[in-house]
């Protein structure tokens, strides 16, 4: 199976700002400090990490908004280093950001969703079909003529996702897509992400700091100071208490209870990720 994303030893440091008179030069700090990871076609991976650990910087490399200073990156089999591949990569690997307001470009939903494919030069008749399809996939049919700014946060974010879908990407990178949403909106967006991965076969990279969201992924990567410090299934990663502590992360509630019980000498078996699993373990 083809790797949709293949990063080897990626390093990136933001340019150091000019220093003022008398100020000390700050040492160069790598926002990405040797990131190696691969994501297979159809996979759903989550990237967890404390604020400032480099998650967004990594996401921007996948979309070639930033270029690696060291290492190599292939996205959908295309070398991100080559200037010629930038637009191809961007059309195959879509990005959804935290704030839907920054991604919505039109005052009418259907025009907003059509914006991406229009830029790709897709014929008008096909654009209409793509908009219809994309709005269906995010469960927003019937909102075609509405004004995006009048919608709820969760609805707006789903319109932003539809806009990405209309470009027919293979990979979608979600950079904390639920961070600004209320619990209902968060649920709607997670339902959409799940649907896109399971039913439409999209490869998903979900950057989040909600453990419950990460627990739905096939694999989880933990980032600390620009490095991948752990990876595995959600259950594996959540059971590594020391590594999570070092990354400044708390596992899901069920896993926290498990770790607390373990410290008190009570072993309930396999590390639970959900409350149901915790209750099962306690009942046994």
Residues that bind ligand ADP (CB under 6 A): 14, 31, 49, 51-57
Q: Indicate which of Mg ion, ligand ADP, none lies near residue 87 (CB less than 5 to 8 Å, by partner kind).
A: none
**CA–CA gap between residue 47 and residue 222 (Å, rounded):** 6
Do 135 and 147 form a contact (C-beta atoms < 8 A)?
no
Is 14 or 87 the residue whose CB approaches ligand ADP more closely?
14
Q: Closest separation between CB of residue 49 and ligand ADP, Å?
A: 5
Q: Indicate which of ligand ADP, Mg ion, none lies near residue 57 (CB less than 5 to 8 Å, by partner kind).
A: ligand ADP
Q: Closest separation between CB of residue 91 and Mg ion, Å?
A: 23
Give first-to-last CA distance, the chain, whole Å: 40
Q: Indicate which of Mg ion, ligand ADP, none lies near residue 153 (CB less than 5 to 8 Å, by partner kind).
A: none
Is 207 or 278 the residue whose CB approaches ligand ADP more closely?
207
Q: Closest separation between CB of residue 44 and ligand ADP, Å?
A: 19
Beta strands 203-207 and 171-175, pairing class = parallel
Q: Indicate which of ligand ADP, Mg ion, none lies near residue 54 (CB less than 5 to 8 Å, by partner kind).
A: ligand ADP
Is 67 or 149 the residue whose CB approaches ligand ADP more closely?
67
Is 30 or 115 the residue whose CB approaches Mg ion more closely?
30
Is 55 or 156 the residue whose CB approaches ligand ADP more closely?
55
Q: Indicate which of ligand ADP, Mg ion, none lies near residue 124 (CB less than 5 to 8 Å, by partner kind).
A: none
- Give the strand order in the sheet containing 44-49: 93-96, 171-175, 203-207, 44-49, 219-224, 227-232
Q: Closest separation between CB of residue 1 and ligand ADP, Å?
A: 28
Residue nearest to Mg ion (CB): 56
User: Which phi and psi (to 5°) does residue 32 adopt?
Assistant: -120, 125
Do 8 and 31 form a contact (C-beta atoms < 8 A)?
no
Q: Closest separation between CB of residue 59 and Mg ion, Å?
A: 7
Is 51 or 102 the residue whose CB approaches ligand ADP more closely?
51
Q: Closest separation between CB of residue 35 and Mg ion, Å?
A: 14
**CA–CA gap between residue 257 and residue 161 (Å, rounded):** 35
Q: Indicate which of ligand ADP, Mg ion, none lies near residue 203 (CB less than 5 to 8 Å, by partner kind).
A: none
Q: Helix, strand, or coil here: 166?
A: coil
Do 37 and 197 form a contact (C-beta atoms < 8 A)?
no
Do 263 and 246 form a contact (C-beta atoms < 8 A)?
no
Beta carbons within 8 Å of 25's beta carbon, 6+ residues apart: 16, 19
Alpha helices in 199-252 (DSSP H): 211-214, 234-239, 241-247
């Amino acid at each position: 199976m083809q790797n949709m994303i293949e990063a080897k030893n990626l390093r990136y440091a933001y340019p150091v700002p000019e220093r003022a008179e008398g100020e000390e030069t700050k040492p160069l700090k790598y926002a990405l400090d040797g990131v190696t990871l691969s994501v297979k076609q159809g996979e759903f991976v989550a990237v967890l990490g404390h604020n400032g650990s480099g998650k967004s910087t990594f996401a921007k490399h996948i979309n070639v908004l930033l270029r690696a200073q060291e290492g190599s990156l292939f996205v959908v089999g295309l070398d991100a280093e080559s200037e010629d591949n930038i637009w191809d990569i961007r059309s195959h690997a879509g990005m959804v950001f935290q704030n839907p307001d920054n991604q919505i470009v039109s005052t009418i939903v259907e025009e907003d969703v059509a914006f991406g494919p229009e830029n790709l030069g897709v014929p008008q008749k096909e654009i209409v079909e793509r908009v219809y399809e994309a709005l269906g996939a995010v469960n927003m049919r019937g909102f075609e003529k509405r004004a995006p700014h009048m919608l709820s946060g969760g609805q707006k974010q789903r319109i932003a996702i539809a806009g990405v879908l209309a470009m027919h990407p293979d990979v979608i990178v979600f950079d904390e897509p639920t961070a600004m949403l209320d619990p209902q909106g968060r649920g709607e967006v997670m339902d959409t992400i799940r649907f896109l991965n399971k039913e439409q076969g999209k490869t998903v990279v979900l950057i989040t700091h909600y453990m419950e969201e990460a627990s739905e992924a096939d694999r989880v990567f933990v980032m600390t100071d620009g490095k991948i410090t752990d990876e595995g299934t959600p259950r594996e990663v959540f059971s590594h208490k020391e590594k999570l502590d070092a990354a400044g992360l708390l596992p899901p509630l069920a896993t926290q209870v498990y770790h607390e019980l373990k410290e008190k000498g009570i072993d309930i078996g396999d590390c639970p990720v959900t409350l149901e699993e915790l209750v099962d373990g306690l009942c046994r």
